[in-house]
Every structure is written in C-alpha cells, then in structure tokens.
Amino acid sequence: MKTRSKLLILAIAVLGIVTFGSCKNEQKKTSEEVAVNTTETENSEETPTAVGYNIGDTATDFKLKDISGKMVSLSDYKEAKGFIVIFTCNTCPFAVASEERMVALDAEFKSKGYPVIAINPNNPKVQPDDTFELMQAKAKEAGFTFPYLYDDSQTVYAKYGATKTPHVYLLQKESGKNVVKYIGAIDDNVKNASAVKDRFLANAVNELLAGKEVSVKETKAIGCSVKQ
Amino acid sequence: MKNLFLVLIVFFTFSCKDNSEGKKDSKDFSTENIDKNFKDISKLKVPIYNFSQLEPLLNKNNDTTNVINFWATWCKPCIAELPAFEKLNSDYTNKKLKVILVSLDFPENMEKQVLPFIEKQHIKSEVILLDDPDANNWIPKVSEEWSGAIPATLINHNGKRKFFERSFTFQELEDEVKKVI
C-alpha cells in the first residue's frame, strides 16, 4: 500500500511537471513532492569538489548559450576590465534572494568595466526547475540585465570549482588572462539585503578599480549544491 | 492571433488549476498513513537558534556520538538522504548516538514548510532551525572544509570530528559513524 501510494504520488508529480511547465510556483512545489517522496539519491555527490580555482589562478573562457539564444564568451567583451561570474539558478532560495542584488551589481559595475555574467550549472534532468525555457522566464521575471548562460555540458562550473548556487568568481583581465581575484558570497547577509553590513563582492570590485589588492579574497555562504 | 492567445490563456489557467488539484491529491495520499499524534502541527516544536546557541552542540566532548546534518526542506539531495539519518537515529538509540538535523530554511517558512514537512515525513530526530545570516563567520566554525553547499554533515565523538560536504546512503553514513566510535 505504501509503495503503491508512493508510486501514485510520483506519477502525479511527474505528470504535473511534464504537462504544466508554465505554472512556475506549482511546478516548484510539485518537484519538491517528488523529492520528498523519492528516497533514491539522484546525484553523484561522491565526486569530491575540492578541485577548482584558487585566488590567482587563470580562469578558463567558455562559449555558452545565453537565454537570448546567442553564444557568449568572455572574449566577446573587448572593453571589459574583468567579470563578475555568478553561478546561480532559477529556484534555489538563496539564489532567488540574491536576484535583485545581481541586477544592482550589474548596474553598478558594468559601466565601470565589470559586467555580471550569470551561469546556471544545474542539470535540468536532476533539477526540473532549471530548464533553458524556465531560465528565460526567470530572466524576464527578475529583470536580468546580464547574460544568463546555460552550462549544459556541466563542465564550466566544474572547472571553476563552484559547489553551490549562488557562488561568485570575480575575474580581472591581466595581459589577456582572466585572473581569479575573489571567490565566495555577494555579501554577508543573503536573506536580507537591507541588513547587509559587508558587501564583500562590491568591495572587491572597488578595490580592483582603485588599483588595490582585494583585501577579503574568499568568503563562505550557504547555497544549494550544484545538481549534477 | 488573438484567438490563439485566448486559447493559450485558457490552457495555462486550466493547467495551473489542474496542477494544484494534483498536488492536493498527493497530499491526501501521504497523510493517510500518518498516525494521529502527528497530525497536530501545533504540538511540534522546532527551536530557532543563532550560531552561538548551536555551537555548543557541535563541540560536545562526551561519550555520545553527535551526528549533525545541515539540510533544508527545499534541498532535494538533503531530503533524499534524511531517511538514512532517521534510520541511524532509531537503530542507534541504545548506543549513545544523537542525530541533530539543523534546518537552514528561512525562519519565516517555519509554519508553512518546516513543520508540515516534519509532520508529513514523521521525522523523529531532533530538529533545530539555524537562523544566523553571517554565514561567512560561522561556516568555517563548523568546518574549514565546508564551502557552504548543503547537504553537509558533521560527526563528532568526544572531540574526534569528521566533516562531509556530500550526500549519504545509510550504509555510507553508518560506516563513517563506526570509524569514530
């Protein structure tokens, strides 16, 4: 009986996802139902995530599909002094809580040479809320002014060493290379933008703009694990 | 064109409605078997701690093995591994082992997400909600190895600490617990 009702719930939930992709909120809840009722672990958390970039490493360029359909690379930005690369996704509560701040960061720093480049590292087969179509909807709804790229081969986040969303990498162009200058959180209060005391990322960009060394190079924040 | 638009609107409206009904159904199914004691959410209590209140529980030096799991109701891999922690908690009841599930849900979601989840899933381990925004400050105090992604688990036995930023099956979890006991 228990297994049967579990199966039924699963069937209903899957049907919900497949058929009603347009209903964002409901869909999110439905996929949570799937998660709640599936005891099977779905991803390969066994892979150690200790690899990735350290401060001072050269970050790789990439060619990823933007929600506009255009392919985007860091090398397209001839005038940029660097990049605010943010691994983020559609529904992680910490990512959602950071959306307005990402838009504000782009508004503050794009004109100064540090545009925001957002990348969604999640595999939509594991996290159905992160399909390319739902990324397009998210960007529209949240008013993203920056590229929102789909890491569909799931290779870029792994090279950077991003373990979670949101996860920020600040890069500075130095003789043709993109050097990692800061890794971590946007600021010290992900839940409440108005209670932020320390804007880690903005401080780091401002230090680079002033020709200084970044003083706080790495910070930690809670995030949703990347869904591989 | 206009007609197409209308048809689309009707379709989407209809599908949304349908979907919420589906959700309702699934809820009915799963509450069916829950025993009566657990139906009353108001009886459930989950304390909200800041990190300095939580910290002593992470650093206990006694003969009890403390298994502390960081999770949230919205975290799929966390929820998938909760049964392993529940099983550990019940299998080791007589063996001086304590499982603490530290929820990182936002406190404003206590009533509508955290408590209903605990009720629905029949969670028996102790649950604490950690509400401390300055994660950059407290994450390294849990473990220097922790990037901040969840699920994450700390096993502490009399000062012997092991930290994991990964998911567990019951077998994997039990194997790690046996290593520190």
B148 lies within 8 A of chain A by CB: yes
Sheet holding A58-59, edge to edge: A58-59, A177-184, A167-174, A82-87, A116-120, A148-150, A64-66, A71-72
pLDDT tens, per residue, chain A with 228 residues: 455 555 555 455 444 444 444 333 333 433 333 333 333 333 433 344 458 999 999 999 999 999 999 999 999 999 999 999 999 999 999 999 999 999 999 999 999 999 999 999 999 999 999 999 999 999 999 999 999 999 999 999 999 999 999 999 999 999 999 999 999 999 999 888 999 999 999 999 999 999 999 999 999 999 999 998
User: Per the confidence metrics, is the pTM higher than 0.95?
Assistant: no
Residue labelled with tokens 């799963």: B30
The alpha carbon of residue A120 is apart from the nearest alpha carbon of chain B, in Å, by 15
Token output for A87: 């691994």
Contact B50, B131 (CB under 8 A): yes
Separation CA B84–CA B69 (nearest Å): 11
Report yes or no for ipTM above 0.95: no
B135 lies within 8 A of chain A by CB: yes
Q: In chain B, what residues touch A185 (CB-CB under 8 Å)?
A: 135-136, 148
The alpha carbon of residue B173 is apart from the nearest alpha carbon of chain A, in Å, by 13
Q: How far is CA A84 from CA A71, A130, B54, in A?
A: 18, 21, 34
The alpha carbon of residue A159 is apart from the nearest alpha carbon of chain B, in Å, by 16
A 10 A CB-CB count for A61 gives 13
Residue labelled with tokens 């992604």: B149
